[in-house]
Amino acid sequence: MSNVESKTVTYSAGDTTLRGHLETPGEPNGAGILVFPEWWGLNDYIRGRAKMLAELGYTALAADMYGDGKVAANAEEANALMSGVMGDIAGGEARIKAALELLKSQPGVDADKIGAIGYCFGGAMVLHAARIGLPIAGVVSFHGALGSFHKPAPGSVQTKILVCHGADDALVPDEDVANFKAEMDAAQADYEFKSYAGALHGYSNPEATAKGKEYGLPLAYNAEVDKQTWADMRSFFERTL
């Protein structure tokens, strides 16, 4: 789909100024999707994912979770920025909610047809949004962290969930996978957990292999799994939005 309009949008959560990236399709399909970044922040990779969604007809907002559009220069800075949000999850929630309200306010977006996707740290954020009951129809986590900041009560998770997990992801322990599934089962959540053979953490990002070598982290891009998980996401949103 052509005629996609790209622009930076400024909004706020509390005293924090946020700079998101909005992609608006020429022919919106009525649904909106939030995009939450990896620990690097709202960089070109995440803006590119938002544009890919807009090319499918979705109004897509890449959310700023660090404030002022900060992007980490290296892994140490990325960890510090991510830890700052994880250590103040109430503040993180406020930023998620601010992005949600901004997306809902866009022309042609049906507030009942909102989805969210997240990568790595962003995967943790979309799963948290589902756990706390934000009005989002469906969320997709790509190689996201699975640890929980909130234990949902039975029946409280109304959001449909798709987790696209790398089977060889050394940064997400098997214990976290087991705990996540137990938590979702106890909450009676509508979720699907897909595990992809041969996929490491960061499998969707073409820069992951180089970044892994640079910082000594078990990251790697997997073109086949990237393609498969994007197709699985598309199918999921066709059903839920």
Taking phi over 0 as left and psi of -120 to 50 as alpha, with beta for the rest, 196 belongs to: beta
Q: How many domains in the chain?
A: 1
What is the predicted pLDDT for the residue at 180?
97
What contacts 24+ positions apart, CB below 8 Å, involve 169-178?
169/143, 169/199, 169/200, 169/201, 170/200, 170/201, 170/218, 171/145, 171/201, 171/217, 171/218, 172/143, 172/144, 172/145, 172/146, 172/201, 176/145, 176/146, 176/147, 177/146
Strand partners, 159: none
Q: What pLDDT is recorded for position 224? A: 98
The confidence score (pLDDT) of residue 81 equals 97
Quote the domain boundaries for residue 17: 5-240
The whole-model pTM stands at: 0.97
Question: Residue 2: its pLDDT value, please?
Answer: 60
Low-confidence residues of the chain: pLDDT under 70: 1-2
Domain containing residue 171: CATH number: 3.40.50.1820
